[in-house]
């Protein structure tokens, strides 16, 4: 393995701003370095993507999009993302530097954690996840390696969005084995992830914290994946009898194989975790009291004929003889004694640390060197109001800068540097980043592209796709974009006058309508139903010279037809009847013209009429016709004419 002393990036200046000092860690996707931000004079962590990933254009584009999403997520339990860019052949991400260890390091050093430690860590992880899920962001690769335990006690989640960016690449070996241990069944079987997939990963991590081991084991990733998809996670108490039943239930809820049976997001699970924590804290004294009251009873090993136990209050009343102490009571007493001893040890340890810290603790605690958190509540305030709030926290406000923002109106505070939610020392200057509105953007022609290509173009322009795509039957192939619009503006052929964050509505071809001309009503209905249309039982009938009577002409034209629309069949009544015009008494010239215009032919009554008609004398007159005037014929039928 390459050492830090031979790493070519050590000492390099990235993008003219970040001076690389040393290497922190190396993973399957990237290497993390400690660097100095020369512009703001602060230490940062720079994650540099491996070369084979940086060369993948699809990965780079997805990485940029996901990094932007992660950068908008500001929460005390989420590692802040400061910057992202490309320096020569290296794609990089600049994040908050947190000296400390990962949850994986803690588990490798200590094995199983206590219930209290597990709850504390899970509470911080769920708090960060709750903010992400509220913002519509799913982590997708939650595992102990991505949970950071800072030296100052903060717990944060890292690598938001990177799992999705890496979805187009294949991990192998130990990297895959480490990730797949926390993948939900739906991710293993269908590749689908949502907030409940993150909840499953939290449940697996809680199991590992409570027992010191993962629920599923195997030498190959596929063995573990198969267990995730087909087995149910066992209660942690099976491996560690000290795990309370309440935590068993919480872990089993979070790791249910069916996503519908899990908490719907991190906020729901966080609320239940806090209720469980309160329940465990209030249950312990009650249990201890009940044990003590039971233990003072005499004749502990005598049998009894009459015993009354008032368990609800922990009180025990006996008559004549008493019952033996139950095994549960003994276990509760032992657990209570263990917790009290542990409490004294913790108290002594805290006291020693407090004395050793001395003046340092005062300086970095309540003293002038104490830390404060930049409040997220100043987002959306005017610069004057935000300045007042920051100064009230003993923070200095430096000159403001302007930034583009999709979700904050022009002239209001969009963020700060250091970012909102950061914990910084009192007196640190804070730069207000004032919104100048969404950034101008442009997009090329969308009409004629496939839906997938159009969506990629919309994402690349930092526009918002309307998930409710309108499908219309057309003469274009299926999934080809017919038109695109932003509000009332047509951008089918592209536009250079757009703003980031605007919503794009796409109209997409559902393919051609089925050809039903000439079919029976039953066959036409079956064909349209198979194409996803509803057929109104009422029908519209029209005369048609080309389609036989009772056969289908088509559907009644009512504009664009969408899948699931209800259509009405246009049914033929056959050729339209033509009334014979009244030509008796008219000259043959006039009569012949009237028959022709009506779509009827003629034939002569006898040879005399034929001679008169073919000679076409100006005074030849129609003397009689067959059939009579008003009779109904069809187009092309002939009328017999007698001339005089």
pLDDT the model gives residue 344: 56
C-alpha to C-alpha distance for 43 and 458, rounded to whole angstroms: 36
Number of folded domains that form the chain:
7
Q: Is the whole model's pTM more than 0.75, yes or no?
A: no
Q: Which residues, including other chains, have CB under 8 Å from residue 282's CB and lie 6 or more apart?
A: none
pLDDT the model gives residue 355: 53
Where a domain ends, among 410, 435, 460? 435
C-alpha to C-alpha distance for 44 and 24, rounded to whole angstroms: 11
Determine the distance from the C-alpha atom of residue 388 to the mean position of all C-alpha atoms in its chain, rounded to a whole number: 37
pLDDT the model gives residue 171: 38
Asked whether residue 444 falls in the same domain as residue 546, the answer is no
Cis before residue 52, ω within 30 degrees of 0?
Answer: no
pLDDT the model gives residue 362: 44
CA within 13 Å, CB half, 370: 9
Q: Which residue did the predictor score with more confidence, 314 or 78?
A: 78
Nearest to 65 by CA among 162, 132, 168, 198: 162
User: What confidence tier does 51 reach under pLDDT thresholds 50, 70, 90?
Assistant: confident
Res 59 pLDDT > 50 = yes
pLDDT the model gives residue 346: 53
DSSP state of 232: P
pLDDT the model gives residue 135: 86
Q: Residue 57 sits in a domain of what CATH number?
A: 3.30.200.20
pLDDT 10s digits, 115-157: 999 999 999 999 999 999 998 888 888 999 999 999 888 999 9
Q: Residue 481 sits in a domain of what CATH number?
A: 3.30.10.20
Mean pLDDT over 524-529 rounds to 93
Does any domain span residue 86? yes
Q: Are 114 and 265 in contact (CB under 8 A)?
A: no
Asked whether residue 489 falls in the same domain as residue 607, the answer is no
pLDDT the model gives residue 196: 95
C-alpha to C-alpha distance for 185 and 229, rounded to whole angstroms: 5
Does any domain span residue 171? no
Percent of the chain with pLDDT over 90: 50
pLDDT the model gives residue 616: 61
pLDDT the model gives residue 1: 39
Asked whether residue 463 falls in the same domain as residue 492, the answer is yes
Asked whether residue 560 falls in the same domain as residue 595, the answer is no
Does any domain span residue 177? no
Question: What interhelical angle do 607-615 and 588-597 show, nearest 10?
Answer: 90
Res 614 pLDDT > 90 = no
Asked whether residue 260 falls in the same domain as residue 157, the answer is yes
Does any domain span residue 236? yes
Domain range enclosing 232 = 100-161+189-264
48-52, 421-425, 472-476, 524-528, range with the lowest pLDDT: 48-52
pLDDT 10s digits, 215-259: 998 888 888 888 988 899 999 999 999 999 999 999 999 999 999
Res 410 pLDDT > 50 = yes
CA within 13 Å, CB half, 71: 19
Asked whether residue 149 falls in the same domain as residue 208, the answer is yes
Q: Are 627 and 602 in contact (CB under 8 A)?
A: no
By the 10 Å C-beta count (0-12 exposed, 13-18 middle, 19+ buried), 360 is classed as: exposed
Average pLDDT, the chain: 81
Nearest to 177 by CA among 219, 148, 228: 219
Q: Are 412 and 382 in contact (CB under 8 A)?
A: yes
Res 559 pLDDT > 50 = yes
C-alpha to C-alpha distance for 125 and 96, rounded to whole angstroms: 17
Asked whether residue 127 falls in the same domain as residue 254, the answer is yes
Asked whether residue 133 falls in the same domain as residue 197, the answer is yes
By the 10 Å C-beta count (0-12 exposed, 13-18 middle, 19+ buried), 614 is classed as: exposed
Mean pLDDT over 102-126 rounds to 94
Q: Residue 546 sits in a domain of what CATH number?
A: 3.30.10
Res 108 pLDDT > 80 = yes
Q: Alpha helix (H) ranges present in 464-575?
A: 521-530
Does any domain span residue 5? no
Structure tokens at 368: 């002038």
pLDDT the model gives residue 123: 96
User: What confidence tier does 189 reach under pLDDT thresholds 50, 70, 90?
Assistant: confident
Asked whether residue 242 falls in the same domain as residue 113, the answer is yes
pLDDT the model gives residue 575: 87
Handedness of CA 109, 114, 115, 117 (dihedral sign): negative
2-6, 275-279, 380-384, 584-588, range with the lowest pLDDT: 2-6
C-alpha to C-alpha distance for 338 and 518, rounded to whole angstroms: 87
Where a domain ends, among 71, 96, 121? 96
Asked whether residue 482 falls in the same domain as residue 536, the answer is no
Active site residues: 141
Nearest to 259 by CA among 179, 193, 205: 193
Res 331 pLDDT > 60 = no
Q: Are 291 and 334 in contact (CB under 8 A)?
A: no
Question: Which SS3 state, helix, strand or coil, does residue 303 take?
Answer: coil
pLDDT the model gives residue 308: 30
Asked whether residue 606 falls in the same domain as residue 465, the answer is no
Does any domain span residue 167? no
Asked whether residue 107 falls in the same domain as residue 226, the answer is yes
pLDDT the model gives residue 435: 93
Does any domain span residue 144? yes
Percent of the chain with pLDDT over 70: 81
C-alpha to C-alpha distance for 272 and 269, rounded to whole angstroms: 5
Where a domain ends, among 96, 122, 141? 96
Does any domain span residue 6? no
């Amino acid at each position: 393995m390459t050492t830090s002393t031979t790493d070519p990036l050590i000492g390099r200046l990235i993008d003219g701003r970040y001076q690389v000092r040393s290497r922190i860690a190396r993973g399957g996707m990237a290497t993390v370095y400690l660097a100095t931000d020369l512009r703001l004079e602060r230490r940062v962590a720079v994650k540099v993507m491996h070369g084979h990933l940086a060369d993948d254009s699809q990965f780079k584009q997805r990485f940029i999009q996901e990094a932007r999403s992660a950068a908008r997520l500001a929460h005390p339990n989420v590692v802040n993302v400061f910057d992202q860019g490309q320096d020569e052949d290296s794609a990089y991400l600049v994040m908050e530097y947190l000296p400390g260890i990962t949850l994986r390091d803690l588990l490798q050093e200590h094995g199983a954690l206590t219930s209290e430690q597990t709850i504390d860590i899970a509470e911080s992880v769920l708090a960060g996840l709750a903010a992400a899920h509220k913002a519509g962001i799913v982590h997708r690769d939650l595992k102990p390696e991505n949970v950071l335990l800072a030296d100052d006690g903060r717990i944060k989640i890292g690598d938001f969005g990177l799992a999705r960016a890496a979805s187009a690449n294949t991990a192998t070996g130990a990297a895959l084995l480490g990730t797949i241990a926390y993948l939900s069944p739906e991710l293993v079987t269908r590749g689908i992830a949502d907030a409940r997939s993150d909840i499953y990963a939290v449940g697996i991590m809680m199991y590992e914290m409570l027992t010191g081991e993962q629920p599923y084991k195997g030498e190959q990733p596929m063995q573990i994946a198969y267990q995730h998809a087909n087995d149910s996670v066992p209660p942690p108490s099976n491996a560690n009898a000290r795990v309370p039943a309440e935590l068993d239930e919480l872990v089993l809820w979070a790791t249910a194989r069916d996503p519908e049976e899990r908490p719907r997001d991190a906020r729901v699970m966080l609320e239940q975790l806090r209720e469980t924590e309160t329940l465990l804290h209030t249950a312990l004294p009650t249990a201890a009291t009940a044990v003590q009251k039971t233990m003072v009873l005499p004749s502990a090993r005598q049998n009894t004929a009459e015993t009354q136990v008032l368990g609800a209050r922990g009180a025990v009343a006996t008559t004549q003889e008493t019952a033996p102490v139950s095994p549960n009571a003994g276990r509760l007493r032992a657990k209570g004694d263990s917790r009290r001893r542990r409490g004294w040890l913790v108290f002594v340890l805290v006291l020693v640390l407090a004395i050793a810290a001395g003046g340092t603790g005062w300086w970095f605690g309540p003293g002038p060197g104490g830390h404060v958190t930049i409040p997220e509540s100043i987002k959306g305030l005017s610069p004057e109001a935000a300045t007042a709030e920051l100064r009230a926290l003993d923070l200095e406000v430096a000159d403001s800068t302007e930034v583009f923002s999709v979700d904050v109106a022009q002239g209001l505070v969009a963020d700060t540097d250091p970012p909102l939610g950061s914990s910084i020392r009192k007196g640190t200057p804070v730069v207000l980043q004032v919104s100048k509105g969404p950034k101008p953007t442009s997009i090329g022609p969308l009409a004629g592209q496939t839906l997938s290509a159009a969506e990629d173009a919309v994402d690349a322009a930092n526009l918002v796709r309307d998930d409710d795509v309108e499908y219309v039957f057309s003469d274009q192939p299926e999934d080809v974009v017919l038109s695109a619009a932003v509000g009332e503006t047509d951008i089918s052929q592209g536009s250079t006058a757009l703003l980031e964050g605007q919503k794009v509505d796409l109209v997409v071809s559902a393919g051609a309508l089925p050809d039903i001309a000439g079919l029976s009503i039953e066959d036409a209905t079956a064909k349209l139903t198979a194409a996803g249309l509803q057929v109104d039982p009422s029908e519209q009938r029209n005369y048609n010279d080309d389609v036989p009577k009772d056969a289908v002409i088509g559907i009644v034209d009512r504009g664009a037809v969408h899948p699931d629309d209800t259509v009405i069949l246009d049914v033929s009544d056959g050729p339209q009847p033509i009334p014979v015009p009244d030509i008796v008494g008219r000259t043959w010239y006039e009569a012949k013209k009237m028959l022709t215009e009506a779509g009827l032919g003629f034939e002569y009554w006898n040879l005399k009429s034929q001679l008169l008609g073919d000679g076409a004398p100006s005074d030849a007159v129609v003397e009689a016709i067959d059939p009579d005037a008003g009779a109904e014929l069809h187009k092309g039928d002939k009328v017999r004419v007698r001339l005089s």
